[in-house]
Amino acid sequence: MTVKKRILSGMRPTGPLHLGNLHGALANWVNMQEQYDCFFFIADWHALTSDYEDTKHISEYVRNMLIDWLSAGLLPDKSTLFIQSRIKEHAELFLVLSMITPVPWLERNPTYKDQIVQLSNKDLSTIGFLGYPVLQAADIIMYKAYGVPVGVDQVPHVEITREIARRFNHFYGEVFPEPESILTQTPKILGIDRRKMSKSYNNAIFLSDSPDEIAAKVAKMLTDPQRARKSDPGDPDVCNVYEFHKLYSDNQTVERINRECRTAEIGCVECKQIMARHLINALEPMREKRAYYETRPHLVDEIMVDGCEKARKVARQTMVEVKAAINI
């Protein structure tokens, strides 16, 4: 038997997961479970880097995130699923890495500069926010992950992680491998208002939405902006509803919509109803799994505890090596 390569990734628990998260990350994670030794964790310390003022929902978000993951098909006996803050070693390694990370590396980080502007309503002039990539580096190298499945926005963080690992090895001897980003091709799906799907834009379809909620949201979706009346021919290539069809409807339906939209044989109302039906069907297995876990809270607790236990074993071992290497 060949040993599977290890991959690791995390998500900040900032609210319920939506279709953007599913297609942008989670579905890929689910597919990687066979091939890799997977570590997936809920980055609750990272949630505090920007949302430190209001933490009242965090434990609820953590729990619901695990339920979202399980519903989507992450399997606790295949993947190690854990919670960052419950493994004390993350905070400890973050401290060690902080000692060797030059501040200019962090100030140069494009996501740092970007977020400071984007989230101008928050005071982000904190050590924690500047140090975000240092904590992320600790998360990754703690498990000596070979690869990190991430979206393009996270590539700079993996790059900083490589630099920090290299610097550590240079000072103290080879302890850490340098991880690679694993970029996954993701379909482009937008929110119901055609902006990027995001909880804060109020345009998201959540994995936990009921069939009625999904149907109501789909009915509100913006379509081809040039198509004002049913009698106007439409262009599916610029229509977000059509993108959804491509993901959720069978080929025959997709072809038919493509044809009948252009000839104005089908109207948007009917087109959306068909799509909503297929989307609702596609999410049915997730709703079933969700119902299963929601009625078995003790099982969810057990999965959390077991996953953390498995992760902690690896993290402890790494910290033994780290401390030996730095003579502490």
Binding site for ligand SF4 (CB under 6 A): 223-224, 227, 234, 236, 239, 241-242, 257, 261, 266, 268, 271-272
Q: Which of 139, 168, 249, 279 binds ligand TRP (CB under 6 A)?
A: 139
What is the C-alpha separation between 83 and 142, in angstroms, rounded?
14
Contact of residue 109 among ligand SF4, ligand TRP, none (CB under 5-8 Å per partner type): none
> In the stretch 32-51, what mask flags binding to ligand TRP with x, by CB under 6 A?
-----------x--x-----
Contact of residue 261 among ligand SF4, ligand TRP, none (CB under 5-8 Å per partner type): ligand SF4
Contact of residue 148 among ligand TRP, ligand SF4, none (CB under 5-8 Å per partner type): ligand TRP
Q: Which residue's structure tokens are 């929601």?
A: 294
Count other C-beta atoms under 10 Å from residue 110's C-beta.
12
Q: Which of 105, 92, 90 has the alpha carbon at shortest distance from 140?
A: 90
Distances (CA, A) of 112 to 11, 95, 300: 17, 19, 34
Least distance from C-beta 276 to ligand SF4, angstroms?
11
Q: Which of 185, 186, 194 has the alpha carbon at shortest distance from 241?
A: 194
Question: Using an 8 Å Cβ cutoff, are 97 and 326 in contact?
Answer: no
What is the C-alpha separation between 145 and 97, in angstroms, rounded?
17
Strands 37-42 and 6-11: parallel
Contact of residue 140 among ligand SF4, ligand TRP, none (CB under 5-8 Å per partner type): ligand TRP
Least distance from C-beta 274 to ligand SF4, angstroms?
9
Q: Which of 6, 7, 10, 224 binds ligand TRP (CB under 6 A)?
A: 10
Least distance from C-beta 171 to ligand TRP, angstroms?
23
Helix (H, G, I), strand (E, B) or coil at 263: coil
> For residues 196 and 259, which CB has a smaller minimum distance to ligand TRP in the complex?
196
- Tell me if 20 contacts ligand TRP by CB under 6 A: no
Structure tokens at 202: 């109020």
